[in-house]
Amino acid sequence: MLNIDALRVSYGGARALDGASLTVGPREFVAVVGPNGAGKTTLFRAISGVTPIESGTLKYDGRDLARVAPSVRAALGIAHVPEGRQVFARLTVLENLEMGAQSAAARQAWRDTLDFVFTLFPRLRERQRQLAGTLSGGEQQMLAIARGLASLPRLLMLDEPSMGLAPAVVEQIFDSIHQVHRSRDIAILLVEQRAAEALEACHHGYVLESGRIVMQGRHEELLRDERVKRAYLGQ
C-alpha cells in the first residue's frame, strides 16, 4: 500500500529525514517511535504533501505521491490526524465531522460513518451540537480521529494521539484505535512517543532517530530488544 524508500527532507539546510524507508501493507498496523526531533512529524507531513521531499520515493498503491497534489492524496484514501488535534474550534462537533467527509464516497457513506464514530466515541454523540473549542483535550482528540475516519480512509495516519492527555484518557484513545483497526478495512500508521503502547498495538514497528530508521521489526521483537527496553521502555 504505502512504500517509502530513502526519503530525505530538509528545513533551512537542516536534514529532518535522512534516507528513511518503511512500508505499510493493506490493513497493517505500523508504529513509528522515537524521541522528540527525530523526524516523526516530518514523515507524516511529507506523506500528506504538506512538506516537499528532497529525494527518495513515496508510493501509494504504486502511485508516485510526489506527483500528486495534497488535496488529491486525501481523495485517494489517506487521512492525516495531525499532532495537537487541530480541530475547527468555532465549528460544532458535527460540522467538524462533516468537514472530513468531502469526497463523493465519504458523502455517500456519511450516515454509516456517523453511526460508527458515535458508537466508537459516545461523548461526541452527546456533544454533537457543541463547539469543538469547548471540548476537553481528550474529547478533541476523539473528534480529530473521528474526522479522519469521516473521510473513509484506507490509510489512517495518527500523529502523537496521546499528546497532552491524562493516562486514563490515553488508554481510552488507544482502545478506540484498536477497535478501528479490528472493525474497519483500514491500515494504520501511528507516530507516538509512548513507545510501550505503540509497540504493543502494532504489527510492525520502526525506531526513528535523527531522521534515520535505526531499527525495525515485528512488535514482539522490538519489545524484547535490550536497546529498545533501555531507551524507550524504561527497563
Give the span between the Cα atoms of 149 and 189, in whole angstroms.
13
The predicted-structure confidence for 185-234, as pLDDT tens digits, reads as follows: 899 999 988 888 899 889 999 999 999 999 999 989 999 998 888 888 76
pLDDT at residue 185, as a whole number:
86
pLDDT at residue 11, as a whole number:
81
Closest CA to 149 of 158, 136, 138, 140: 158
The predicted-structure confidence for 93-122, as pLDDT tens digits, reads as follows: 999 999 999 888 889 999 999 999 999 999
Residues 6+ apart with CB under 8 A from 206: 22, 30, 31, 32, 33, 213, 215, 216
Domains in the chain: ranges and CATH: 2-232 (3.40.50.300)
Q: CB of 55 within 8 A of CB of 10? A: no
For residue 57, give the H/E element and its range.
Answer: strand 55-60
Which grid cell is 20? 528513511
How much is the pTM?
0.93
With a cut of 70, say whether residue 235 has pLDDT above it.
Answer: no
pLDDT at residue 31, as a whole number:
96
For cell 489512517, name the residue. 156
Which grid cell is 167? 493516562
Which grid cell is 65? 505521491
204-209 vs 212-218, strand pairing mode = antiparallel
Handedness of CA 44, 45, 48, 52 (dihedral sign): negative
